[in-house]
Amino acid sequence: MSDTDGQMIQASFKTRAGTLINAKGYDESTFRMSLAVIHDHLSEITDVEDKIAAVENVKAALAPTPTAPAPSGWDAPASFTDATAPTCTHGPRTARSGVGKKGPYRAWFCNTPQGAVDKCAPIFLNKGTPEWDSFPA
């Protein structure tokens, strides 16, 4: 790495919670210092993110689930209605399922854009529970 063309050297890292961290430098020395600072504080950043995610999960679990009667003439499925979708401070969450590194998952996700500073942590469901079996996605 050298600063032969006058451009900045930059690398971006994303933490588990989605926080984007940038290391920058105008030469190899300042770039390496930027990387060292990130390395020294990365565990503190992820610890704070984990604590925030835990608080959000507890708040979501304790939040009352709104119940709304089904419109007349409409039979809601026995396993799921829109009224049972959890919400966060940004509104109703989106149901998503898929297969990740640890196998299949089902979770409720916050609808704020990817990378938003105040994005809420997802609420993952446990396999074998009634919630898992009746999940809409």
Residue 69 belongs to some domain of the structure: no
- 54 shares a domain with 24: yes
How many folded domains does the chain comprise? 2
- Per-residue model confidence (pLDDT) at position 69: 58
Residue 83 belongs to some domain of the structure: yes
**Contact status, residue 82 vs residue 70, Cβ threshold 8 Å:** no
- Per-residue pLDDT tens, the chain, 137 aa: give them: 444 566 888 888 777 777 778 888 888 888 888 888 877 777 777 777 777 877 787 777 777 766 655 555 444 444 444 457 788 888 888 899 988 888 899 999 988 888 888 888 888 888 888 888 888 87
- Residue type for 89, please? T
- 47 shares a domain with 83: no
- 95 shares a domain with 125: yes
Distance CA 5, CA 27 (A): 10
Residue 68 belongs to some domain of the structure: no
DSSP secondary structure string for all residues of the chain:
---SSSPPEEEEEE-TT--EEEEEESSHHHHHHHHHHHHHHHHHHHHHHHHHHHHHHHHHHHSPPP--PPPTT----SS--GGGS-EETTEEPEEEEEEETTEEEEEEE--SPTT-TTPPPPEEPPTTSHHHHT---
CA-to-CA separations, 113 to 21, 77, 99, in angstroms, rounded = 17, 30, 22
- 95 shares a domain with 50: no
User: Which domain covers residue 19, as residue numbers?
Assistant: 9-60
- 87 shares a domain with 124: yes
Span 28-67, pLDDT tens digits? 888 888 888 877 777 777 777 777 877 787 777 777 766 6
Residue 3 belongs to some domain of the structure: no
